[in-house]
Structure 1
Amino acid sequence: MNIAVIIAIVVVVLIVLWAVGAYNGLVSLRNRVKNAWSQIDVQLKQRADLVPNLVETVKGYAAHESEVFTQVTQARNKAVQVAADPNTEPAQRIQAENDLSRAIFNLQATAEAYPQLQANQNFMDLQSQLKTLEEKLAYARQFYNDVVQKYNTKIETVPTNIIASLFHFKQADYYQIAEADRAVPQVKF
C-alpha cells in the first residue's frame, strides 16, 4: 500500500474519532442541562406543595389580607399549570416561578406584621421549610446555569461548533431573575 493512502486513512479515522467524541460530549452536556433543569423542577414542586399550607396558616391570622392570598394562589396555580405542560419553554417556566417567588415574598412580608403569627410553631416550621427549599433552589439554579454555560460554550467554540451545527444542537437558556427582582429593595423606617 502506498504511504499516502495509509496517511489519508489515518487522518480520516482520526477525524471520525474526533467527530464521534465531540458529538458524544455535546450529547452528554445536553443531558446534564436536562438533568439540572429536572433538579430545579423537583425543588419547585416541593415549594408549590408547601405554599398552600403556608397560605392557610397565615390566613388564620391575617384574614383581611385577601389580596396577598389571591396573588400567591394565582401565582402558584400558574406555576403548577406551566410545569405540567410539556410544551412549556424554559423562559415561560422561569417567569412563572419568578412570579411565585415575588408572591411568596409579599406573603412573608405580610406575615411579619402579625407578631402572634410569628410565635405560631406551625408557621415557623413552614417558614423554615420554605427557607430551606429556597436555598436548595438557589443552588440548583446556580448549578443549572453552570452546566448551561459549559454546554453553550461547547456549542460556540471551534471545532465542536461544526458538529453542533451539523446535528442542530441549540443553545440552552439561562435561569434568570425577572427585571423587577433586580431593583434594590427600599427599606423605610
Structure 2
Amino acid sequence: MRKFLPWIILVVVILIGYSWFKGINNTAVTLNQNIEEAWGNVETSYQRRNDLIVNLVKTVQGAAEYEKGTLEAVVQARASATKTVVDPTNITPEQLEKFSQNQSALSRLLVTVENYPSLQANQGFLKLQDELASTENQILTARTRFNEAVKPYNTHIKTFPNSLFAGIFGFKEKPYFKSVEGADKAPEVEFNFDKKEAK
C-alpha cells in the first residue's frame, strides 16, 4: 500500500487542481455569457431607437419645406447611431466610448427640433417623441444591467488567485459603460425666431 501512496496523493492533487482550474474557467465563461447577453439587450434597445428614427424621418418629411434642416439632422443622427459595431467578446473602452458618442447624436437632434414649434404640434411627432423617451429609459436600464454583468466577471478574474490564471484562459477585464464626455452638462436650447421669420 505504501508503494502506491505517492501515486494516490499525486492523483488526488491532480484532481483537486483540475477541479479548481475548471471552476475558474467555467465561472468566467458563465459570467462572460451574461455580459454578452446584457450587451445584446443594449444593442436591442438602440436598434429600437434607430427604427423609431426611421419613422421620425417620415414624419419630418411630411412636414413643411422649411423644416428641411431638421430632416437632414434626423438622417445624420441615424447614420451616426449605426456607425460603430461592438463585439461583446472583445469589448474595449475605446469601442464603448465611440459607440456612446455616435448614439448621442439623437440627443442633439431633439434639441434641434425645439426650433420648430409646428413640428412639435404634429400628433405623429408627439407620439414618436414619447416612444423615444420610453426607449431612452430602456437604453438606460440595459446599460445599467450591462454594467451589473461586467462587475462580477471583472471581480472573478481580478481576484487572487484567479488573476494568476485568467490570462492563461484568455479572459481579460471588460470596460464599464460610461457616459460620453460632457454628458453631465444639460444641452443648451437656442430659439432662433429671427431666422424663421426671414424665410
- Whole-Å Cα distance in 2 between the matches of residues 49 and 155 of structure 1? 37
Corresponding letter in the other structure for 2:31 = L
CA deviation digits over 1:14-50, x for unaligned, max 9? 2211111111000111111111111111111111111
* Structure with the largest fraction of helix: 1
8 Å CA contact 2:38–2:146 kept in 1: the answer is: yes
Residue 122 of structure 1 aligns with which residue?
124
TM-score (structure 2 length as normaliser)? 0.77
Q: Are 2:123 and 1:99 equivalent residues in the alignment? A: no
CA RMSD of aligned residues (A): 3.2
8 Å CA contact 1:155–1:164 kept in 2: the answer is: yes
* 1:166 maps to which of 157, 165, 168: 168
Corresponding letter in the other structure for 2:20 = W
After superposition, the Cα gap between the structure-2 partners of 1:17 and 1:85, relative to the gap in structure 1 and judged at 3 Å, is closer
Residue 141 of structure 1 aligns with which residue?
143
- Whole-Å Cα distance in 1 between the matches of residues 167 and 7 of structure 2? 30
After superposition, the Cα gap between the structure-2 partners of 1:113 and 1:140, relative to the gap in structure 1 and judged at 3 Å, is same
After superposition, the Cα gap between the structure-2 partners of 1:54 and 1:178, relative to the gap in structure 1 and judged at 3 Å, is same
Greater CA drift, 52-61 or 179-188: 179-188
8 Å CA contact 1:47–1:130 kept in 2: the answer is: yes
Greater CA drift, 155-164 or 82-91: 82-91
- Whole-Å Cα distance in 1 between the matches of residues 90 and 18 of structure 2? 36
8 Å CA contact 2:96–2:177 kept in 1: the answer is: no
Q: Are 2:37 and 1:32 equivalent residues in the alignment? A: no
- Whole-Å Cα distance in 2 between the matches of residues 69 and 50 of structure 1? 14
8 Å CA contact 1:69–1:107 kept in 2: the answer is: no
Residue 197 of structure 2 aligns with which residue?
none
Cα shift at 1:154: 1.2
Q: Are 2:7 and 1:10 equivalent residues in the alignment? A: no
8 Å CA contact 1:72–1:100 kept in 2: the answer is: no
8 Å CA contact 1:82–1:93 kept in 2: the answer is: no
TM-score (structure 1 length as normaliser)? 0.80
Cα shift at 1:139: 0.5
8 Å CA contact 1:61–1:114 kept in 2: the answer is: no
Q: Secondary structure at the match of 2:182?
A: helix
Residue 152 of structure 2 aligns with which residue?
150
8 Å CA contact 1:26–1:154 kept in 2: the answer is: yes
Q: Which is higher, the Rg of structure 1 or of structure 2?
A: 2
